[in-house]
Amino acid sequence: MAAPAQATNIVTMLDLAKEKDPQGAAATIIDPISKRSPVMQLMHAKEGNLDTGHEVTSLLGLPSGQWIGYNEGVDPHKAVVENFVEACGRLCDLSQIDASLAKRAPGGAAAWRVAQDDRFLKGMGAEHERAFWYESTLRTPKAIHGLTTRFGKYSTSPGTPAYQVIPCHSSANGDNQNSLWLIVTGEGNLSLIHPKGSDVGIDTTDLGLSLATDANGRRFPAWNTWFELMTGPCIENYRQVVRICNIDPDVFSSTGDAITSAMAKAVHRVQALSDGRAMFFGNRQVLEWIDIESNYKARNTVTIKEWSGMEVLVFRGIPIVMTDGLVTNAEAIVTT
């Protein structure tokens, strides 16, 4: 099977940051985060049309016309559309560094603050990656609504998000499962959005030197930095997302091809591979199992190549990206 054509106009959060600030001030923040977060690095990004997110108009049905004879009329029809809002979440944190401690730190206060603030960037990047896959506004109303909640059941009936969920091991059992995702990101498919008029990526504000409060209510001088990320996933076409679920470590066979067979099904389940950037996402263990399967029955479909500055496994021309945001042996079993 020939490798699918990949869209070359995918705009990421880093691209948007560079457009908004050609001097690179915002990009310097997003770049180190994106290197730790494949979602931020690789997903299509765009500004929402609302202060809180993005209103989507989804096409549900097209007028099909009527077969008629001469001197006969037609009934008027119109396209069927649905409007819904994809909301952004607001992830924030505050860094407070004892001014006296920073003054005595190796390299001075400025270097110490940079090193400490970098830990916040790492932590928030990891939290965003986790939330993209697993968070739920039903559980945490102020968070983003992640993908696992949206694709939480499977069905053999086309036309619903559940049809985009493919169980891998039919005998899977227990809450020690794994998932592999196929996403075609791009305009009109799945994007990372940020509110209208807002900054892209993690916005950092140096609040300078002020008095902080310790656990006993006493005051001390501290350097303060505010971190804020407003973003969320926006799915305009659910047919461009496929979840391969129920990948069971107790069922996996090193000489089998269950995972790569499910990947082949996923390739045919998406609406259009060429209508965006197609990527598989999995955790380290699932990628290891795909690599093992490639030594047996999947030898001709899985290869290794350089892609987007990384050496990755490739399935039928589609890169397989590793993310620590997807948990290992910790997902619940998915049912109908």
- First CA to last CA across the chain, in angstroms? 31
User: Could you tell me what percentage of the chain is helix, strand and coil, using 3-state DSSP and rounding each to the nearest 5?
Assistant: 25, 30, 40
CB-based contact 242:182 (threshold 8 Å): yes
Instruction: Please give the pLDDT value at position 255.
Output: 86
pLDDT in tens, the chain (336 residues): 555 555 556 877 766 666 555 555 555 555 555 556 899 989 999 999 999 999 999 888 889 999 999 999 999 999 998 999 999 999 999 999 999 999 998 888 999 899 888 899 999 999 999 999 999 999 999 999 999 999 999 999 999 999 999 999 999 999 999 999 999 999 999 999 999 999 888 899 999 999 999 999 999 999 999 999 999 999 999 999 999 999 999 999 988 899 999 999 999 999 999 999 999 999 999 999 999 998 887 667 899 999 888 889 999 999 999 999 999 999 999 999
The answer to the question of residue 314 being in a domain is yes
The answer to the question of residue 302 being in a domain is yes
Q: Cα dist. 160→156, 217, 238, 263, 301 in Å? A: 10, 54, 8, 19, 29
Domain that holds residue 185: 13-57+84-322
Pairing mode, if any, of strands 80-87 and 190-194?
A: unpaired
Phi then psi for residue 87, to 5 deg, are -95, 150
Spatial distance between the Cα atoms of 151 and 170, rounded to a whole number of angstroms: 18
Instruction: Please give the pLDDT value at position 4.
Output: 58
Instruction: Please give the pLDDT value at position 248.
Output: 98
CB-based contact 278:184 (threshold 8 Å): yes
The answer to the question of residue 24 being in a domain is yes
Q: Cα dist. 138→90, 126, 134, 142, 306 in Å? A: 16, 21, 12, 9, 40
Spatial distance between the Cα atoms of 264 and 128, rounded to a whole number of angstroms: 29
Express each pLDDT in 145-172 by its tens digit: 999 999 999 999 999 999 999 999 999 9
Spatial distance between the Cα atoms of 97 and 216, rounded to a whole number of angstroms: 17
For the chain, the C-alpha Rg in angstroms (whole number) is 23
Spatial distance between the Cα atoms of 139 and 88, rounded to a whole number of angstroms: 15
Number of domains forming the structure of the chain: 1
CB-based contact 319:279 (threshold 8 Å): yes
Token code pair at residue 10: 């995918």
The answer to the question of residue 277 being in a domain is yes
Token code pair at residue 63: 């007028």
The answer to the question of residue 335 being in a domain is no
Instruction: Please give the pLDDT value at position 35.
Output: 55
The answer to the question of residue 70 being in a domain is no
Give 260's contacts (C-beta < 8 A, 6+ positions apart).
290, 293, 294, 297, 298, 301, 302, 315
The answer to the question of residue 42 being in a domain is yes
Give 328's contacts (C-beta < 8 A, 6+ positions apart).
178, 283, 284, 285
The answer to the question of residue 221 being in a domain is yes
Instruction: Please give the pLDDT value at position 30.
Output: 54
